[in-house]
Structure 1
Amino acid sequence: MTIAESPSPALGSSQPTTWWHGAATPDELGRWSAVAQEVADALAADVVERDRANALPVAPVQLLRDAGLANLLVPVELGGHGAHWETAFTVARIIARVDASVAQILGYSWLNQACAIFYGTDAEVTRDVLRRSASLRAVWADSFNPVSPDLSLVFDTDRYLLNGRKAFATGAAVADVIVAGAVAEGGARDGQFLVLALDAHRGGIAHLGDWDNIGYRASASGGVEYTDVLVTDADVIGVDTEEPFSSVVTPGVQLLFGNIYLGIAEGALAQAAELTRARPNSWFLSGVDRYADDPITHRVFGELVSRTTAVEALADRLGRQYDEVVALGHATTADDRAAIELAVARLKVVATEVGLDVAGRVFELTGASSTKSATGLDLHWRNIRTHSLHDPVDYKRIEVGAHFLRGTVQPVSLYT
């Protein structure tokens, strides 16, 4: 499968100022929040079993397609639903309350699909990419992992060949499209950093299936290896020209993380509340009949719920702010980009801290019986403990503090 059908983009060709407009309405948020809840309810039926099996999430990904979520952000005129990023982050958060792995795959799908816009240099190519993606209900993944060695893209006679290995590629093994990037060596594209959209199962692409971590076990986050993968002009969806707009995708990734961590905290609290209400008897020194009536239980829930609600308020505000920034399109300035980067970094700090604390401390409320494997309460903590190591949160603290004191902004990267 080739996701782009028009001629490949050329530097300096026509691209509209913006692809995204306006803000989510209450009706939009309500409609897709309800869809997300239906998906979450369906995932809840076997989330513990799927986690134990460490199996590829084939059925959950199909559920996302069938619910219309693969096309959530594609413009209506191109066959999608035309929703906003605020809505998308809310959807991911709702699903993360039950299954952070699947929420991650979905969020990455939107962000990788959006690479056709962020990096696109030709409007017709971008339209064709999005139109075809919508018609296929395609789920997208990527192998951009910057801590792995760069991929090699070398011209050979009349085409390019892609080689290399990326250690992590979340969702790639169950996706339809995988985004990759490399600096072209030789040929007409020599020296350009090309952004590619490839059939995830094209010849020469091997999904290594080597993901076996304590959390995010249903995220299909194993490595991917490219061996002489044929790349043609039709696979090129954009060129990284290092303009501020293209790099706005990275704060979007970090904002996704913050919403998923928040969703994990909300899910842990909801499950803990259910277990606590059903918990018989009480601690013998408490003076009450049931654990749900114990003032200590109320105090701990009160603390955890209050802190989680504060993170929710910040995440909601940033969802709308992100829509405002991406609506600037190619008019985005370095200052615009820095402002959203720093705002999202602040969310990342508190969402990580609160998510880890909540997912761990709910056991104080639910007791020893909740540590049974069948209960699955540990899934929330294992997921956030695993994913929160994606990039060190201490560097987010440094980023925020350095700007607060000295006005400095970190260099643009795939982590900042």
Structure 2
Amino acid sequence: MSVPSSDLLFNRDFGAWTEVVESVAAQLAATAAQRDRQGGTALEQRRLLRESGLLTLLVPKEFGGQGEVWPLILRIVRRLAAADSSIAHLFAFQHLQVATVLLFGTPEQQHSLLTKTVEKRWFWGNATNDRDVRLLFENTASGHQLVGPRFFCSGSVDAEGLIVNVPHPAIDGARLFLAVPADRHGVRIGGDWDAFGQRQTDSGSVQFEGTPVEPADRLGWPTDQPPLPRLPRHSLRSCLAQAILTEIYLGNTEGALEAAREHLTQRARPWPGTGADSATQDSTIQLRFGEHWIAYRGARRIADHAALSLQHAWARGDALTAPERAAVALEMAEARVASAQAGLAITSGLFDQMGANATAGGLALDRYWRNIRVHSLHDPLDLKRQALGKWLLRGEAPQPSGFS
């Protein structure tokens, strides 16, 4: 019996997109370790994504996109994260910004912004952060302006547009989303991201220095008429963000498992006294790999089911109910906790099987753990566990927020 291939183990069939996805993944993987050490903006890799056609998968066909579904897009995020977690992050957040336009924009805004996204190969940056309240949405004599800093702005460098959120002036407790050109007067992109993981996501700061906001920038509220009330479907954005985090954890876990199998097959030596002729014949290593696989597979099954539920909710549109939305949020909480727990344990524990020579700096095999560790802190996993416990013990559904 032959050793199972990675394609078989990790379900790398993406239908009509398989060849493109695998080509992009191979090119990213070839330089991922080197670029992880360098940090900075991955301009060449961003160009690769622009030219691949993958940035417009979610854009509806009437705007020139492919109109693909979330389970496929999320599995592609996972595949790219196995090759290069930072670029997968940028790819995934592109789709989160497109989703924001689809969730909040008027039909006219959707047509204008998404047609340009396709035709001009736009990259979108993320400048939404519910916890960073320093950014002000101020009235001016001629309209509104943005003043202040915003941090954790993934993909802001080399972006054509930024999705920004601020407290909604006309809807209590809601957020107003803005689509602001990145070259607009007063936008200063910091390029100051310096975490020990996700090192090429450009997730640093953007400073808004009296940046004018045009009425057309205000998604869903381009006039001074009262905005329409928010529906449950609008709060799917945070569920999408949680799904993206989940897939980046799983992709890093896949990448680590692949790298460990290769290392044990080609470089590692059996430990004296085990009686094994090779590292792959060591019964203890086999046992631990089996444990890692079970943890990974369990998390993957939960994530795949949650992605299907997310797609069903997305397709419901305005008909989505609050209880249906809450059910999706609970599944996303399960998926994120399970994938983070499994990923952190596996990407660290594999070194026990690979041995000391796997810690060589040139291999950068620690990057899988570093990437998950940084991304897992996006919002507290304990709050996800608590939300699940509250539902199990009291029947209380999670309330929509920027993180749940």
> Shared fold (TM-score greater than 0.5)?
yes
SS class of match (1:297): helix
In the aligned structure 2, how far is the partner of 1:394 from the partner of 1:303? 24
In the aligned structure 2, how far is the partner of 1:257 from the partner of 1:280? 32
2:186 is aligned with 1:204: yes
Q: Which of 15, 32, 38 is equivalent to 1:47?
A: 32
Task: Compute the displacement of 1:238 (Å).
Answer: 2.3
In the aligned structure 2, how far is the partner of 1:184 from the partner of 1:322? 26
2:351 is aligned with 1:351: no
Contact 1:70–1:110 (Cα < 8 Å) also in 2 = yes
Contact 1:195–1:237 (Cα < 8 Å) also in 2 = yes
Count matched residues. 387
Does 1 or 2 have the higher relative contact order (CA < 8 Å, sep 6+)? 1
Runs (4 or more) in structure 1 with deviation over 6 Å come to: 189-192
SS class of match (1:154): strand
In the aligned structure 2, how far is the partner of 1:413 from the partner of 1:281? 50
Contact 2:137–2:145 (Cα < 8 Å) also in 1 = yes
In the aligned structure 2, how far is the partner of 1:330 from the partner of 1:39? 36
Identify the residue that residue 214 of structure 1 maps to in structure 2.
196
In the aligned structure 1, how far is the partner of 2:372 from the partner of 2:168? 37
2:13 is aligned with 1:31: no
TM-score by length of 2: 0.91
In the aligned structure 2, how far is the partner of 1:84 from the partner of 1:403? 29
Identify the residue that residue 392 of structure 2 maps to in structure 1.
404
1:354-365 matches, within 5 Å, as 354-365=342-353
Identify the residue that residue 367 of structure 1 maps to in structure 2.
355
In the aligned structure 2, how far is the partner of 1:160 from the partner of 1:84? 36
Task: Compute the displacement of 1:310 (Å).
Answer: 1.8
SS class of match (1:195): strand
SS class of match (2:207): strand
Identify the residue that residue 6 of structure 2 maps to in structure 1.
none
Residue identity opposite 1:146 in structure 2: D
2:146 is aligned with 1:162: yes
In the aligned structure 2, how far is the partner of 1:345 from the partner of 1:150? 28
SS class of match (1:130): helix
Task: Compute the displacement of 1:145 (Å).
Answer: 1.0
Which segments of 5 or more consecutive residues in structure 2 lack a partner in the other structure? 1-10, 222-226
Alpha-carbon deviations, 1:76-109, whole Å to 9, x = none?
2211112111111010000000211111111111
2:167 is aligned with 1:179: no
Pairwise CA RMSD? 2.0
Task: Compute the displacement of 1:374 (Å).
Answer: 0.2
Identify the residue that residue 244 of structure 1 maps to in structure 2.
232
Contact 1:279–1:292 (Cα < 8 Å) also in 2 = no
In the aligned structure 1, how far is the partner of 2:268 from the partner of 2:95? 44
Distance 1:327 1:368, change over 3 A: same
In the aligned structure 2, how far is the partner of 1:352 from the partner of 1:270? 18
SS class of match (1:172): coil
In the aligned structure 2, how far is the partner of 1:379 from the partner of 1:333? 41
Identify the residue that residue 94 of structure 1 maps to in structure 2.
79
Identify the residue that residue 332 of structure 1 maps to in structure 2.
320
Identify the residue that residue 62 of structure 1 maps to in structure 2.
47
Residue identity opposite 2:184 in structure 1: R
Identify the residue that residue 70 of structure 2 maps to in structure 1.
85
Contact 1:155–1:184 (Cα < 8 Å) also in 2 = no
2:95 is aligned with 1:110: yes
Which segments of 5 or more consecutive residues in structure 1 lack a partner in the other structure? 1-25
Q: Which of 247, 251, 255 is equivalent to 1:259?
A: 247
Residue identity opposite 1:157 in structure 2: A
SS class of match (2:62): helix
SS class of match (1:245): helix
In the aligned structure 2, how far is the partner of 1:126 from the partner of 1:219? 26
Distance 1:98 1:333, change over 3 A: same
Task: Compute the displacement of 1:184 (Å).
Answer: 6.3
Identify the residue that residue 308 of structure 1 maps to in structure 2.
296
TM-score by length of 1: 0.89
